[in-house]
Amino acid sequence: MIEIGARIDLPHPTGRVWRALTDPTLLARWYTEVEPAAGRPGRLLLYTAGLPGFDAAVDAEVTERREPDAIALRCQEAGRRTLLSCAVTPTAEGCRLTVHETLEHGSWPVEQRVRREQFYQQALTGRLPAILDWLAFQQVDLLRDQGPPTAEMPIVETPGDAAPLRRRRRTALVAALGGGVLVTGLATWVLLPSDPDRAAAPEPATVPPVATTAATSGPPRATPTARPTPGASRSSARPSRSASPTPSRTATPSPTPQAPLAARYELVATRIFGYTGEVVVDNAAGAAARDWTVVLTLPSGSTIGDVEGGEWQQDGRSVTITGPAVPAGGSQTVRFDVRDADPFVKAPEACAVADTPCAGL
């Protein structure tokens, strides 16, 4: 008897895993499309033709169903009969899912058996966890208005008290602003000089007259006037153009502009509801070491799960990533995981470093 299978530990409750195993819409997203056979209760048609390790579609009959612990199907495929069983066992962290397929009639070529087992392993470790994470996100979002608070706390105002409260706050704000303007105006008026002419040009100091005595011989010395001549006033009020020569333009050469930072985006891996992306930031040779900031714009409903190579922060659809300075001629690689509500979207809507768009997007 030939048997193949796979096993995985999942951080999800058994009920959520059971739903992913038995809901045809969810099953089609991580395993294959399933259609109930018309007029044949308990019979299913699995569209496995073309999948690795499968020769044709599978005609299956449910032989055991114990919700949410186990389900078994007897499968007919290209003259081969197998028994496919799925067991869900609770664990401390969530549950363990074990899948076995046993050959009851016919034969499996070695290569086909290996490819079939690899397909089960990839489906259980890659696509199924993505579906379960998406279900967990939707369940939290749907329960937001049903009792216990979630990550977002709503603010509730009483209809009767909201309008008076806003009016009181508005009145207090207007009063505070008006009082501040009045105090500022009074202080300015007190500090201003009373004579505008004195405020515009300060009165020059007078020179005391030269003292004379009776013993002094010769003609009397002229006493200097107390007010400078109009020509002198103009000379002191307006500086001479020759006193402050214009600096030469060659004294301060303009700095050579640095080449802008460049960045390129690349898709690393994909999942049903998400992907892994990578942005490489390059600094041109000969430039100084420079700090950088990468800004990603995600589609609505997408979230960043993990970032390697920088510190990150998400605000709505915008994700800002910063990191250590990039040396001249060097580069910095940033890798990030995105959970996306749309299974067909595998890239950000926009990517830029220092306002320069990323290449490859």
Domains located in the chain, CATH noted: 3-142 (3.30.530.20), 262-357 (2.60.40.290)
Which neighbouring-strand residues pair with 282?
Answer: 262, 331
CA distance 7 to 10: 10
Report d(CA 216, CA 222) in Å as an integer: 14
Query: What per-residue confidence (pLDDT) applies to 70?
Result: 96
Cβ–Cβ < 8 Å for 17, 96: no
Cβ contact 321:311 at 8 Å: yes
Give the integer Cα–Cα distance in Å for 286 and 302: 38
Mean pLDDT of 248-257: 56
Per-residue pLDDT, averaged over 236-252, amounts to 52
So what's the pLDDT on residue 164? 45
> What element of type H or E holds 83?
strand 80-90
Q: Is the model's pLDDT at 194 over the cut of 60? A: no
Number of H helices, E strands in the chain: 7, 16
Q: Is the pLDDT of residue 334 over 80?
A: yes
Cβ count near 302 (within 10 Å): 23
Q: Which of 326, 335, 330, 328 is nearest to 354 (CA)?
A: 326
- Calculate the CA 112 to chain-centre distance: 43
Tell me the H-state helices in 11-109. Answer: 14-22, 24-30
**3 - beta bridge partners?**
102
Distance (Å, whole) CA 10 – CA 132: 9
3-state secondary structure of 303: strand
User: How far apart, in whole angstroms, are the C-alpha atoms of residue 260 and residue 281?
Assistant: 11
Q: Two tokens at 341?
A: 């509500």
Q: DSSP assignment, residue 124?
A: I
Q: How many CB atoms lie within 10 A of CB 350?
A: 15
Q: What is the structure's pLDDT at 232?
A: 43
- 10-40 pLDDT per residue, tens: 999 999 999 999 999 999 999 999 998 888 8
Q: Which residue has the tokens 């020769």?
A: 55
State the sign of the Cα–Cα–Cα–Cα dihedral 10, 15, 20, 22: positive
Question: Distance between CA 82 and CA 101 in Å, rounded?
Answer: 6
**How many CB atoms are located within 10 Å of the residue 39 CB?**
6
Whether omega for the bond prior to residue 68 falls within 30 degrees of 0, making it cis, is: yes
Q: Is residue 165 very low, low, confident or very high in pLDDT (cuts 50, 70, 90)?
A: very low
Q: Does the pLDDT value for residue 352 go beyond 50? A: yes
* Beta strands 58-66; 43-46: pairing state: antiparallel
pTM higher than 0.75: no
Among the listed residues 355, 358, 348, the one whose alpha carbon sits nearest the alpha carbon of residue 307: 348
pLDDT on residue 137: 87
Reference 17, options 51, 80, 68, 81; nearest CA is 68
Per the structure block, which two tokens stand in for 265? 């985006």
Radius of gyration of the chain (CA): 41
Count, residues in the chain: 361
Reduce the DSSP state of residue 185 to 3 states and report it.
Answer: helix
